[in-house]
């Protein structure tokens, strides 16, 4: 079950990265160390939501997979993303529907009951 979950999450993370790039929300610049060290949830005081996805969320999940570490047993990132991207759509006309689907898929995959490992 774990290998299957790792493969599924890896594929979804690749989709997430591609979608961030397609929407031009991907940054080639890495935020300052201080910004990444924020103690606030989702680094709301130092990063935009897409920056957090790129520089915190993606690397943490990929790192867990690469190390064979347990993945979170619950994920509810899609509702927060919906709020952020609704505002972004109103302000900049960016339609993040596919990105929201990808995040929703990650939520479902990580939050689904797992068999004994």
CA dihedral (10, 12, 13, 17) in degrees, to 10, reads 140
The contacts found for 87-91 with CB under 8 angstroms, 24 or more apart, are none
pLDDT digits (tens, 9 = 90+) for 57-114: 999 999 999 999 999 999 999 999 999 999 989 899 889 999 999 999 999 999 988 7
- Rounded to 10°, the helix 77-92/97-111 angle is 170
Residue 116 pLDDT level (bands cut at 50, 70, 90): very low
Give the predicted TM-score (pTM) of the model: 0.90
Mean pLDDT, residues 36-56 taken together: 93
> The CATH number of 2-26+45-111 is which of 1.20.1440, 2.60.40, 2.40.50, 2.130.10?
1.20.1440
Residue 115 pLDDT level (bands cut at 50, 70, 90): low
Q: Measured in whole angstroms, how far is the alpha carbon of residue 97 from the centre of its chain?
A: 14
Distance CA 58, CA 18 (A): 12
């Amino acid at each position: 079950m774990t290998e299957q979950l790792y493969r599924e999450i890896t594929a979804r993370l690749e989709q997430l990265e591609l979608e961030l790039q397609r929407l031009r929300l991907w940054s080639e610049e890495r935020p300052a160390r201080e910004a990444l060290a924020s103690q606030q949830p989702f680094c709301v005081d130092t990063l935009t939501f897409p920056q957090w996805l790129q520089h915190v969320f993606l690397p943490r999940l990929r790192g867990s997979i690469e190390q064979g570490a347990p993945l979170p047993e619950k994920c509810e990132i899609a509702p927060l993303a919906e709020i952020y991207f609704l505002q972004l759509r109103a302000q900049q006309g960016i339609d993040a529907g596919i990105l929201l689907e990808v995040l929703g898929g990650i939520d479902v995959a990580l939050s689904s009951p797992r068999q004994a490992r």
